[in-house]
Amino acid sequence: MSQMMEANPQISEYLSRISHASEHISTMVSDILNEDNRSHVSMEDLFHSILMNSSSFLPDDILNVHLNCPNAVIAVNQIRMVRAVVNLLGNAQKAVDAKTGVIRLSAESSEGHVQICVEDNGIGMEPEQLKCAFEIGWSGTGSTGMGLGYVRQEVERQNGTICLESMPGQGTRAVIRLKEVMCDAP
Ligand SMILES: Nc1ncnc2c1ncn2[C@@H]1O[C@H](COP(=O)(O)OP(=O)(O)OP(=O)(O)O)[C@@H](O)[C@H]1O
Ligand SMILES: [Mg+2]
């Protein structure tokens, strides 16, 4: 095998990619099965996974991405945090007009915390709707009403907070706040 790899660097490159992909799948399965699993994840990697998982329902021309802290690191169950943010993007997508809709996904780091923000210029919510929004089973769109309850549960499990602001006819903003892992300089 090693002779083959020396003889053909392309084979070596393919094997390295396969090995990397299988490690990635193994971490994903472990994160799904063990909700308390945590790993250090850079915001760049987190956003990469979020965008991979939302591209099927969110056209590029609706979504604006602003990642101001690509090197910031958080300690999370990656697949569950990705699902949480994708849920917020799904809600935003349902709320916006197909022609004029704009969704902004952003992140910044400040004072030892990372803030991930999903904003839209969609239909927004009345104050009474906003009060029910996190209730499991409550839906204003005839769906299952599981999304925001799951998002809050996941964020709080990872010692973070989520807040939701909304104005009817103006849009909605969801902000997830998580502690940043401060890596020591080498
Ligand atoms: N960005 C948003 N703009 C307007 N309304 C929203 C937004 N996000 C959530 N809502 C309102 O809050 C309700 C609850 O959201 P939630 O994600 O929990 O459930 P759902 O989207 O209806 O169902 P599911 O997520 O299970 O498919 C939505 O049905 C909608 O009425
Ligand atoms: Mg939802």
- pTM listed for this prediction: 0.86
Among all ligands shown, which has an atom nearest to the Cα of 95?
1
What is residue 149's three-state secondary structure?
Answer: helix
- Give the confidence band of 15 by pLDDT, cuts at 50, 70, 90: confident
- Calpha distance 127→58 (Å, rounded): 27
- Percent over 70 (pLDDT), the chain: 95
For residue 176, list its beta bridge partners: 116, 162
Distance in Å, CA 14 to ligand 1 centroid: 42
- Calpha distance 153→134 (Å, rounded): 10
Cβ atoms of residues 130 and 166 within 8 Å:
yes
Q: Which helix (H) or strand (E) holds 24?
A: helix 9-33
Among 121, 117, 116, 105, which residue's Cα sits nearest to residue 41? Answer: 116
Render pLDDT for 115-139 as a digit per residue (tens, 0 to 9). 999 999 999 999 999 999 999 999 9
- Calpha distance 140→118 (Å, rounded): 19
Residue ranges lining ligand 1, Cβ < 6 Å: 87, 91-92, 95, 120, 122-125, 129, 133, 138-141, 143-149, 172
Residue nearest to atom 25 of ligand 1 (CA): 147
Render pLDDT for 28-40 as a digit per residue (tens, 0 to 9). 777 777 777 888 9
Distance in Å, CA 90 to ligand 1 centroid: 8
The single residue listed with the structure tokens 């943010």 is 85
Please state, in angstroms and as integers, the Cα–Cα distance from residue 44 to each residue in 35, 65, 132, following that order. 22, 12, 33
Residue nearest to atom 6 of ligand 1 (CA): 91
Q: Which atom of ligand 1 is nearest to the CA of 123?
A: 4
